[in-house]
Amino acid sequence: MKLLASLALLLSFNVHGEMPIDHRATDFFGALNMSFDQKFRVNKLVSSWSDRNIAIENERKYHLKDNCFDLAGGEIILVLQIEETGMVSEVYSSKQNMKASCFTNTYKGLLLPKPPVSPFYHLWRML
């Protein structure tokens, strides 16, 4: 079923390879597809934004805030949905466990740099 949803998302692009206006992810796989698409469509803008965001993340250490890495649960892939203002409005996770919930609670609602496109889907790999 998830594969069909991903395929439907890819087929929803117009002939120029652009996403429909206001197209938003509804689950982890949709958000993952959106993050890959944005990376390839607006690569220079995404790279510039990512560099700025990593510097801020390293300075503010959001990822360490709630000791989420100390929880069992293995590797977690997060996709942050970031609005035009820079606010993280949704966090999609590859797993549903305590560790994933911890990271979701840490990131949801944070104000990050304004993204190059909106909504912007940013991939994080938490080990």
pTM of the model: 0.78
Please write the tens of the pLDDT for every residue from 77-115: 999 999 999 999 999 999 999 999 999 999 999 999 999
Q: Is residue 5 part of a domain?
A: no
Answer whether residue 78 is part of any domain. yes
User: Is 111 inside a domain boundary?
Assistant: yes
Q: Give strand pairing partners of 91.
A: 80
Q: Cβ(87)–Cβ(109) under 8 Å?
A: yes
Number of domains in the chain: 1
Residue 24 lies in a domain: no
Query: What pLDDT, on the 0 to 100 scale, is given for residue 22?
Result: 55
The crossing angle, in degrees rounded to 10, of helices 28-41 and 43-60 is 120
Q: At 46, is the pLDDT very low, low, confident or very high (cuts 50, 70, 90)?
A: confident
Confidence of residue 11 (pLDDT cuts 50, 70, 90): very low
